[in-house]
Amino acid sequence: MTKRDLVVRISNETGLVQQRVLDVIQKTFDHVSEALAKGRKVELRNFGVFEVKVRKARVGRNPNRPENDVRIPPSAIVKFKAGKEMREAVLRLTPPEISKAATGDKR
């Protein structure tokens, strides 16, 4: 599902103009991104939690030149942990449903 798909679906369900829905969704994403950029946790009840984690520094290897070690510095990443309701809904999926969803097959 893309942002556009989300806008169209919400617009159809609520009767709001698509541009207004897009503005609200974009503002929501902007505020979530802004909070994460400040290192804050974003918790959306019944959906999930976004938080910033710091990856430790480590040593990596170039597969083309494995004899050379490459130092990888610590970096900040965003982690997402699904909420209970979402996790349970996803666990109910069967393998055929998963492959259909991944390919966008609507049958």
pLDDT of 107 > 60? The answer is: no
3-state secondary structure of 76: strand
How many separate domains does the chain show?
2
- CATH number for the domain that contains residue 80: 4.10.520.10
- Taking the C-alpha atoms of residue 57 and residue 63, their distance in angstroms, rounded to an integer, is 19
What local confidence, expressed as pLDDT, does residue 95 receive? 74
Pair 50, 76: CB distance under 8 Å: no
Q: How many CB atoms lie within 10 A of CB 7?
A: 20
Statement to judge: residues 52 and 102 lie in one domain? yes
Question: Which domain covers residue 16, as residue numbers?
Answer: 1-38
Statement to judge: residues 72 and 101 lie in one domain? yes
Report pTM: 0.73
- Taking the C-alpha atoms of residue 5 and residue 95, their distance in angstroms, rounded to an integer, is 24
Q: What is the pLDDT of residues 53-105, one digit of tens each?
A: 999 999 988 888 888 888 999 999 999 999 999 998 888 887 776 666 666 66
Token pair belonging to 97: 């449903």
